[in-house]
Amino acid sequence: MREITFAEATREAMEEEMARDPRVFLMGEDIAKQGGIFGQFKGLPERFGLERVRDTPISEPTLVGAALGAALVGARPVLDIHFADFLLLAMDELANQAASIRYMSGGKLRVPLVIRAPDGAIRSAGAHHSKSLEALFLHLPGFKVVAPATPKDAKGLLKSAIRSEDPVLYLEHKALYPRKGPVPEEEYLVPLGRAEVIRPGRDLTLISYSLTLHKALEAAELLAGEGVQAEVVDLKTLYPLDWDTLLASVERTGRAVVAHEGWRFLGPGAEIAATLEERLWEKLKAPVARVGAAHVPIPFSPPLEHRVLPQVEDILKAAKEVLAWR
């Protein structure tokens, strides 16, 4: 199978969906002329014109609200938010408006809206360009939240997000953009709400998504060298969460570690750990461990940044603690 980058995979997804459905359009800061800060919009204005690929002023609240308004009248906007940190500028439009409007209308309105938000820490970008904010949006009822880890899923999930009738927050870790992976030439979709066991194992389950999934896979490889068979589950979609896949895996292994780059305190891992313990209490051989960022803003200096973010060694250490329970 051919290999393309994560950024190119998302570009293909948008190109295919825009060709398929004239209601789909893109907007964001620096996407048309510049092609996106990671090249993920390159070539699209040439093919679809500046009516459908729009450079915008720096007006996040109005951009989110406008994407919502366009969705309400039947268009299918894909809004790029430059850096996920900037979602925080538009919290009224996200939380009070986009997430709630269908519900408040008694189910009469539809919100086919995609918000792309590059998140995560990369190359000492510092506290305003490094956050992973999925926990905020999982806490708010009304968003579907996806966080792909591979080019194949990046493309298939973005296509599904664009076809969804509901607001989808598409979180893409900036460190993933240049990574290559196999992506089929022929058209495919990756459904929202499905996790996947990407490495089978019987001794414990490592649960992760986005960039941290690759760290979990490295940890699994290191554990294999020590004779431990770690199963790795890629969540892919964080809401709705694929509890069936998750529960089945942990029921089998009896031990679990949840790892993500978002803050550990009240992060997605906290909810997942609590639910696994509620549902599988008698099957668990150890408490579910959580790995996440330390509870500080993401610092600038490389050794400080490294200390705060979850590393392969942190996942390995958590796995060993979980395995130590008898």
Partner 1 sequence: MELLDLYRLMYRIRRFEERVERLFLAGKIPGFVHLYIGQEAVAVGVLAHYRPGDYLTSTHRGHGHALAVGVDPKAMMAELFGRAPGICQGKGGSMHLFDADRGMLGANGIVAGGIPIAVGAGLGLRVLGREGVVFCFFGDGALGRGVLHEGLNLAALWRLPVLFVLENNRYASTTGFAESHAFRVPALVTAYGVPYLEADGTDVEQVYGATAELLSGIRMGRGPAFLEAHTYRFKGHYVGDPERYRSRQEVEEARRRDPLANARGKLLASGVAQKELEDLEREEEELLEEAVAFAERSPWPDPEEALTDLFAEPVGDYPWGEG
Beta bridge pairs of residue 146? 170, 237
Residues making up the chain, counted from first to last? 326
- 129 as an active site residue: the answer is yes
Least distance (Å) from partner 1 to the CB of residue 78?
12
Contact 206, 257 (CB under 8 A): yes
Catalytic residue among 129, 173, 214, 260: 129
Tally Cβ neighbours within 10 Å of residue 129: 20
Residue 46 in the binding site for partner 1 (CB under 8 A): no
Which of 182, 184, 240, 297 is in the footprint of partner 1 by CB under 8 A?
240
Q: Which is nearer to partner 1, 105 or 301 (CB)?
A: 105
Non-local CB neighbours of 254 within 8 Å, separated by 6+ positions: 204, 283, 284, 285, 286
Residue corresponding to tokens 């204005």: 45
Least distance (Å) from partner 1 to the CB of residue 277?
13
Residue 221's alpha-carbon distances to 211, 214, 316, in angstroms, are 16, 11, 10
Least distance (Å) from partner 1 to the CB of residue 26?
10
Residue 166 in the binding site for partner 1 (CB under 8 A): yes
Q: Which is nearer to partner 1, 223 or 273 (CB)?
A: 273
Residue 282 in the binding site for partner 1 (CB under 8 A): no
Angle, vertex CA 263, rays to CA 284 and CA 265, nearest 5: 55
Which of 37, 39, 42, 75 is in the footprint of partner 1 by CB under 8 A?
75
Contact 312, 303 (CB under 8 A): no
Which residues are near partner 1 by CB under 8 A? 23, 25, 51-52, 54, 56-57, 59, 61-75, 77, 92-93, 96-97, 101-111, 141-142, 144, 164-166, 193, 239-240, 242-244
Instruction: Cite the active site residues.
Output: 129
